[in-house]
A and B are shown apart, each in its own frame.
Chain A
Amino acid sequence: MKRNHTKKIPKGLSICLKVLGILFSLFTFTFVIYIFNLDMKLTSKIEPLLLKHYDRIERDRHL
């Protein structure tokens, strides 16, 4: 009979590692957005769409 030599990771530690993994992934994801200015690159693409939308709104323009 083969014996299983793999040590079982305690449940608490496993949760901590998962949380750290998630936090690290979130940090990496947001930091990449931050450093490469991806947030501004995205919003600069949205602006022309919004401007077209504003042009279509009916307005009561007068002095």
Chain B
Amino acid sequence: MAKEIGKDKFGSFYVAGSRVRNRREWRGVKDTLYDYSRWLVIMGTLGKFLMKPRNVKAMFRYRWMANYLAVPMMVDRHTQGLRQEYLRMCHIEQDLIIDDVAKLLGNLFRGDRRTGNDTEFSKKVVLVDENEMTAVMMGFPMLKCLSRETPSTYVSVLLNQHAAEHYIDVAQEFGLAGDVCPMPEAEAGVSIDDDAPVLGACAVQCNTTCDGSLLGNGVISRRLEKEDGIPVFQLAAPLRHREDDVQEYAAQEIRNAIAFIEQHTGAKWDWTEYFECAKRVNYATKCRQEWLDMNRTDYPQVFGSNLALYTETNYMAICGRIAAFEKADRKLTRLAEQAFKAKKRAAKEYRHRAIIWGVQSHYYMDFLVWLLNCWGIVPLTDMLSMVSTRKIAEEDTPENREQAYYDMAWLTENMIMRNRTHGGYKVLLDELWEFTEQFNADMVILWEHMSCKALDGMHGLFEDRARELGIHLVWVSHDLFDPRIISRQGVRDQINNYMRTVMREEPIDPSLEILPDEESW
């Protein structure tokens, strides 16, 4: 038990065969009391959620709800070793995300025909994909934009590494291919398993990122439209998003999606609200750019999980629609600036500056914390955080109303993951080396999501370029949602082997090198 950063042996917290750790971390009086107070807040959020009978009913109806038992542990995983400003930044983000997901669940179950069955409320609900930019909802403050896949699969795997296995098996049991991305496959599995809440006036699906995503959407929309009577719009954003000649088509898709929502909900697009949201999108972009600027120096502040998880949520799922995230942006920037001025560091030792590229393992999101604590590798930024930095129109003028369709299209085309996995050689490969130079990184950790065909074809090209530039390129294979294919230890071993054999280094915390967390949440 130690107050100082890096004094603890974090490996001693793990218990073989157990779902959970043996105790929580002692971080000195001030930081422990802070962490304890945030734990109380999280318990309060969960308690409040369970006060509603329909939520309890849903807990006993939907298999994926069992994963929410692990909410406090998810926070513990991401705060491991953190002190002072870094601990506070992590809690500001995680607590806000937990609150937002609790509200999302509450709303889903309110409208769900099996639990709350509030039909009037359900008429105001527009369902969206998990992996979909919510820009088309920025001008509909009177409607609820809800994603069923976010809590059932996306967040569930963050909470419990084994969460998606049941649904992946169900999908394959019904003949779906086993070599597609397990994320859309699990989402399809939820639908096949009759385990998705049923609600909404209509739904908007997006062609997201890949063949797996199209497969999953097909299965889900079939059930939505033909059985549940919920019409679905397919928002087909262009994949070659950097090309000028696709932008008119992309803007037209946005106009069509908005018209579809208006037709099925009776709601009218609100330009005033849209431009308010646009201001918040720009503010979030400005903050993110400031954090990335700090990360280019010797004193990075908002990085690792603190950058990755928050950007995914704020950029894509929130997209300026919720004011609380603007306040969080402000607080995070203040804390980061404070730590930057004091030249603070989040860990005992920084040995390597790394860019994390590729699609990260979802069942091991706290891997970035592990990299820092075990080997002193600083994850300066990651592929999913390198999203659009373009300022969108935020003043309500007739010209900007026309420009807004192009801006929403741009955001949709450049949503997380698809802005790098599609769009050509430049966005995935060339820009990586530009970032490596800008961030003064000596290492690239390249996630190889083995079911992602978009990235696998580029393997040799990455290696050639890294060799030319003299950058340490460490491949880390994984299967996104399925730890049975490559376990968390399998992920760690790939780094351990590289660090020991190529870099000839010893870990900063040897107790973290091999962890008995196969059964862990």
- Measured CB to CB, the residues of A under 8 A from B are 30-31, 34-37, 39-41, 43-44, 46-47, 50-51, 53-54, 57, 59-63
Contact = CB atoms under 8 A, between A and B. Distances in A.
B20 A44 contact: yes
A-B pairs, top 9 by smallest CB distance, nearest first, are A44-B19, A43-B69, A40-B20, A59-B194, A54-B63, A50-B66, A60-B194, A44-B20, A40-B73
A46 to B, nearest CB: 6
A28 to B, nearest CB: 12
Given A50-B60, A51-B63, A61-B192, 12 more contacts: A31-B36, A35-B24, A35-B36, A37-B20, A37-B22, A40-B19, A47-B66, A50-B66, A50-B69, A59-B195, A61-B170, A61-B193
Contacts of A59: 193-195
Contacts of A37: 20-24, 76
Interface residue tally on B, bucketed by range: 20 to 34
Contact of B70 (A30, A31, A43, A54): A43
- Tell me the interface secondary structure of chain A in the complex: helix
A62 B174 CA distance: 8
A34 B43 CA distance: 10
Interface in B179-231: 192-195, 219, 222
30 contacts: A30-B36, A30-B40, A34-B24, A34-B36, A34-B39, A35-B23, A35-B36, A36-B23, A36-B24, A37-B21, A39-B72, A40-B20, A40-B21, A40-B70, A41-B20, A44-B18, A44-B69, A44-B521, A47-B69, A50-B59, A50-B66, A51-B63, A51-B66, A54-B63, A54-B66, A62-B192, A63-B174, A63-B175, A63-B192, A63-B219
Contacts of A35: 23-24, 26, 32, 36
Contacts of B59: 50
Interface string B270-282: 0000000000000
Contacts of A31: 36
B61 interface: yes
Contact of A57 (B40, B61, B70, B175): B61
Nearest to B20: A40
A35 B39 CA distance: 10
A27 to B, nearest CB: 9
Contacts of A40: 19-21, 70, 72-73
B27 to A, nearest CB: 11
Contacts of A39: 43, 72
A59 B70 CA distance: 25
A51 B73 CA distance: 19
A59 B174 CA distance: 14
Nearest to A43: B69
Nearest to A60: B194
A44 B170 CA distance: 24
B73 to A, nearest CB: 5
A61 B70 CA distance: 27
A11 to B, nearest CB: 31
Interface string B483-521: 000000000000000000000000000000000000001
B75 to A, nearest CB: 11
A30 B39 CA distance: 10
A36 B72 CA distance: 13
